[in-house]
Amino acid sequence: MKVLVISRGYMSEKNPVWGNFEAEQAWTLQRFGHEVIFISVDSRPLEKYWRRIGLTKFIDKQGMPVYNYFFPIFSSLMTKNPFIPFSVSDKLYERMMIKLYKRIEKDYGRPDVIYSHYLFNSFLAIKLKTKYHIPMVAIEHWSQINNDKLLPRVKMMGDIVYHEVDNVISVSNTTSRRLKQHFNYDSPVVFNMIDTSSFKYEEKEKPTVFKFVTLGQNTKRKGFDVLVKAFAKAIFEKQVELLFIGTGDWSNIKNMVSAYGLEDKVKVLGPIVERADLVKVMQDCSSFVLASRKETFSVVCVEAISMGLPVISTPCGGPEEYINDSNGVLVPIDDVDSLAKALEDMVLNYDKYDRKTMSEQIKLLFSPDVIGRQVERILIKAVEDNN
């Protein structure tokens, strides 16, 4: 089966998580024997960092062809100009996507199925489905879908896409319920996969310093501000540290750390590009914390549990479906007191967690072989239903 995967983009040194979920699934399908072509349309502002404008192609380390079409539609000038309608950018997007497709068909032939991640990509990909009559499956893990009320543009895109594609996968039961609520669509659930060969349990001595770690792009949605407040409020009977890892501007968090006088206990490490380096840092930690206000799944929580790290998380749309008393604890969103208490309890009760069993159980649910086969069956059915 020839699969055309449509992604946000592909990982880079400047943004090591951009498109990583999509690539993991694509590599797994490729390992199953399918021919996979990986494409993206990139319109992020050029002023963030330089990229080559136009169409680019390379073969990644897994032997997968990766295509991208970059044109900086959403420069600061355009995003701040209320007189430029979405129809203009939509038309440019459509032209870029069709150019990409024509190049791919020339290089590799017609794909058997389109597999598109995120509604904003699927909105583009639907043009390919209708123009070239190719079966299409979408997978939804966009946090915008989990809002109580959708933005008009999001609702418009969903109304078009979800009733045109052959199937829509949700990455959590929460997202599936939202698709039913907002679009009356019954979506099957296939959780995100994790790299169990990297994020694995290892025996280690009990640490002298108990380290909490959190990971993600520093945005308001991640709730890092709540985590700093809770850590400052918590009272620990031993030496405890908190590590922040991820992309973005960390000045607000650093300012909070300074204001609370926590410079010797809280460390902002910023982005860690290489997966092996990230794993090494996490292996040196005792517990993972997610104070997020909204997620669609949260792969990082599953990766942490796979390594044997008990997790403290909010029920933000995903973690509540796999975190239980055996592998962690849930606390209310934006509740500084409850989070502070959970941090204290985790340090006191860390020994109650069977870290090896936690890891084994999570792998039974989220390994590439398990999740990849579920995705594969849905793609094959879409192809068969169109023959």
The pTM (predicted TM-score) of the whole model is 0.84
Of 365, 271, 362, which Cα lies nearest the Cα of 311? 362
> Where along the chain do the CATH 3.40.50.2000 domains lie?
2-193+367-385, 210-365
CA-CA distance, 93 to 44, in Å (whole number)? 12
Residue with tokens 């199925």: 113
CA-CA distance, 183 to 159, in Å (whole number)? 7
pLDDT value at residue 259 = 97
pLDDT tens, per residue, the chain with 387 residues: 999 999 988 888 777 778 888 999 999 999 999 999 999 987 665 545 566 777 889 999 999 999 998 776 554 444 444 445 667 777 878 888 898 999 999 999 999 999 999 999 999 899 999 999 999 999 998 888 988 999 888 999 999 999 999 999 999 999 999 999 999 999 999 999 999 889 999 988 888 899 999 999 999 999 999 999 999 999 998 899 999 999 889 999 999 999 999 999 999 999 987 889 999 999 999 999 999 999 988 999 999 999 999 999 999 988 999 999 999 999 999 999 999 999 999 999 999 999 999 999 999 999 999 999 999 999 999 999 998
Q: Kindly indicate whether the domain formed by 210-365 is annotated with CATH number 3.40.50.2000.
A: yes
Supply the angle between the helices 173-183 and 152-161 in degrees, to the nearest 10: 90
Residue with tokens 């900086």: 72
The type of residue at 316 is C
Kindly list the distances between the CA atom of residue 270 and the CA atoms of 107, 245, 305, 354, in Å, as whole numbers in the listed order. Answer: 39, 5, 22, 30
pLDDT value at residue 318 = 87
pLDDT value at residue 180 = 96
Sheet bearing 2-7, strands edge to edge:
54-59, 65-70, 35-42, 2-7, 113-117, 136-140, 167-170
Cα angle 58, 197, 303 (rounded to 5 degrees) comes to: 95
CA-CA distance, 197 to 366, in Å (whole number)? 12
Beta bridge partners of 46: none
Q: Check if the beta carbon of residue 301 is closer than 8 Å to that of residue 319.
A: yes
Q: Kindly indicate whether the domain formed by 2-193+367-385 is annotated with CATH number 3.40.50.2000.
A: yes
